[in-house]
């Protein structure tokens, strides 16, 4: 839902009426805002959660740093929080307990004619918590064009990593969910909002130039629809010309064919750092990142532009869901088949007097659901990436050691998740050994299949 992690600068926010059906509409007095649900956001490189009215906050993660920050937190209506952390999507509860982690594979970029891989730039979890849309990007240059970010967006289940083609891969940005089977994604080359339904190709909805006079057309990004489908918010412009735009929706944008372009009703004053519009569960309030905090205003712009107020200070990248604020709340269980009815007790031989207790089960152990993998091209100078195994139960910690013809590669480079192939690797086969640990479980060591021989 967020394309850029923008530098946030203090700014005074005002509401300016544009294209309102009644001439001369002005900002209304600040109203009492919706307090339903909870809002996840970023503060100090970590994920936090706040009550819907912003009066209570709680830190969810503790391990985010400037070098490895959490980005783009998003929360489903069942209380599952998803956030990007390096190359992984982490799923956790408001209490900070981690349910699982997914490390997406590299995705093919036709423009660059190569697979791209890297940190998660954006994540958006579906309201039912079963799917997550994610975006990765790299800076690249195409002959005859300006160098720029190239993005690929895909969707996967939240329990296990699906192949990108399962639900359809796009070359768009800023996914946001409309119900559980439709996303809005952004074509930033054309300032175009598009619908991407599961398993279907993207379809155009509207361009920025369709909502303003052609001379005022600008960048359009980060569009989000209110849960009731009546209102829309998005980011117009860039840099110090950035505004949060608010629209009235014409027709049904939640399903079926694309409706007419929405009507731009009002927008904030231009200022850098405005981003991440998000609506309250009851669609009465819209919030966004602005001036180092999260601001909010009434969502109804049919008769004017309600004035905003500061909701959460020192906060970025908000996302609002129907989940109540509860710092003790753990993550929702992994999706999967539910157990059927259990059979009742069956008659059988009765034990004699003073039966001797049987042996008690020993400690549990990890089982390997899917082994580790090495991704990348086995060629000197290229980078290989380790994909952690899927184990049950989920390990508390995994570590990596790269192997050259079955022997450990020494040093820090050999213990990283990514490994750049060197001249010493030429003619050898490379694998990765993964060590998993968790309290009260024996350590599990799993080794991937080896690559082909490394080429020059």
Q: Which of 419, 420, 423, 421 is nearest to 386 (CA)?
A: 419
* Backbone phi and psi for residue 364, each to the nearest 5 degrees, phi listed first: -70, 165
Partnered with residue 48 across adjacent β-strands are 41, 59
pLDDT value of position 198: 93
Average pLDDT over the chain reads 84
Domains and CATH numbers, the chain: 33-251+261-321 (2.120.10.30), 367-447 (2.60.40.2700)
Could you tell me the pLDDT band of residue 305, with boundaries at 50, 70 and 90?
confident
pLDDT value of position 34: 54
Whole-Å CA distances, 54 to 51, 113, 335: 5, 46, 30
Q: Which of 344, 204, 336, 268 is nearest to 14 (CA)?
A: 268
Lowest mean pLDDT among 95-109, 176-190, 254-268, 346-360: 346-360
Residue 347 scores a pLDDT above 70 = no
Mean pLDDT of 11-20: 34
Q: What is the pLDDT of residues 405-440, one digit of tens each?
A: 999 998 877 788 889 999 999 999 999 999 988 777
| Plot region of 252 (φ>0 → left; ψ -120 to 50 → alpha; else → beta) | beta
Whole-Å CA distances, 406 to 3, 28, 399: 41, 70, 17
284 touches 34 (CB < 8 A): yes
* Backbone phi and psi for residue 431, each to the nearest 5 degrees, phi listed first: -135, 175
- % of the chain beyond a pLDDT of 90: 61
Q: How far, in Å, CA of 392 to CA of 314, rounded?
A: 38
pLDDT value of position 27: 37
Q: What is the pLDDT of residues 152-175, one digit of tens each?
A: 999 999 998 998 888 989 999 999
Residue 277 scores a pLDDT above 90 = yes
pLDDT value of position 89: 96
309 touches 296 (CB < 8 A): yes
């Amino acid at each position: 839902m967020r394309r850029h992690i923008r530098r946030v600068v203090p700014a005074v926010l005002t509401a300016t009426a544009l294209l309102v059906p009644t001439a001369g509409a002005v900002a209304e007095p600040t109203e009492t805002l919706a307090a339903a649900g909870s809002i996840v956001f970023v503060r100090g490189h970590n994920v936090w959660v706040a009550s819907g009215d912003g009066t209570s906050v709680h830190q969810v993660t503790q391990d985010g740093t400037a070098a490895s920050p959490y980005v783009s937190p998003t929360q489903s209506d069942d209380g599952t929080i998803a956030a990007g952390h390096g190359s992984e999507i982490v799923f956790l509860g408001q209490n900070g307990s981690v349910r699982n982690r997914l490390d997406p594979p590299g995705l093919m970029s036709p423009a660059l004619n190569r697979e791209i891989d890297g940190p998660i730039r954006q994540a958006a979890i579906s309201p039912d918590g079963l799917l997550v849309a994610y975006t990765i990007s790299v800076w690249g240059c195409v002959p005859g064009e300006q160098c720029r970010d190239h993005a690929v967006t895909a969707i996967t289940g939240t329990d296990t990593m699906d192949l990108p083609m399962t639900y359809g891969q796009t070359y768009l940005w800023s996914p946001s969910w409309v119900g559980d089977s439709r996303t809005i994604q952004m074509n930033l080359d054309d300032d175009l909002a598009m619908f991407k339904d599961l398993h279907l190709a993207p379809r155009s909805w509207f361009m920025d130039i369709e909502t303003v006079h052609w001379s005022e057309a600008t960048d359009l990004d980060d569009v989000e629809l209110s849960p009731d489908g009546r209102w829309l918010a998005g980011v117009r412009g860039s840099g110090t010309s950035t505004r949060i735009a608010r629209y009235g929706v014409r027709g049904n944008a939640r399903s079926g064919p694309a409706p007419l372009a929405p009507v731009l009703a009002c927008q904030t004053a231009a200022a850098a750092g405005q981003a991440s519009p998000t609506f309250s569960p009851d669609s009465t309030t819209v919030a966004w990142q602005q001036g180092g905090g999260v601001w909010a205003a009434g969502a109804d712009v049919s008769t004017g532009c309600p004035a905003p107020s500061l909701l959460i200070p020192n906060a970025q990248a908000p996302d609002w869901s129907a989940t109540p604020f509860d710092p003790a709340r753990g993550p929702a269980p992994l999706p999967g088949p539910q157990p059927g009815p259990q059979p009742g007790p069956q008659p059988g031989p009765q034990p004699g007097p003073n039966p001797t207790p049987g042996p008690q089960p020993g400690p549990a152990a990890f089982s390997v659901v899917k082994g580790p993998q090495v991704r990348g091209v086995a060629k000197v100078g290229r980078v290989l990436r380790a994909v952690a195994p899927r184990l049950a139960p989920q390990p508390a910690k995994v570590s990596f050691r790269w192997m050259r013809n079955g022997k450990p590669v020494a040093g820090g480079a050999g213990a990283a998740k990514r490994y750049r192939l060197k001249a010493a690797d030429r003619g050898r086969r490379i694998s990765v050994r993964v060590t998993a640990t968790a309290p009260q479980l024996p350590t599990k060591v799993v080794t991937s299949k080896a690559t082909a021989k490394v080429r020059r």
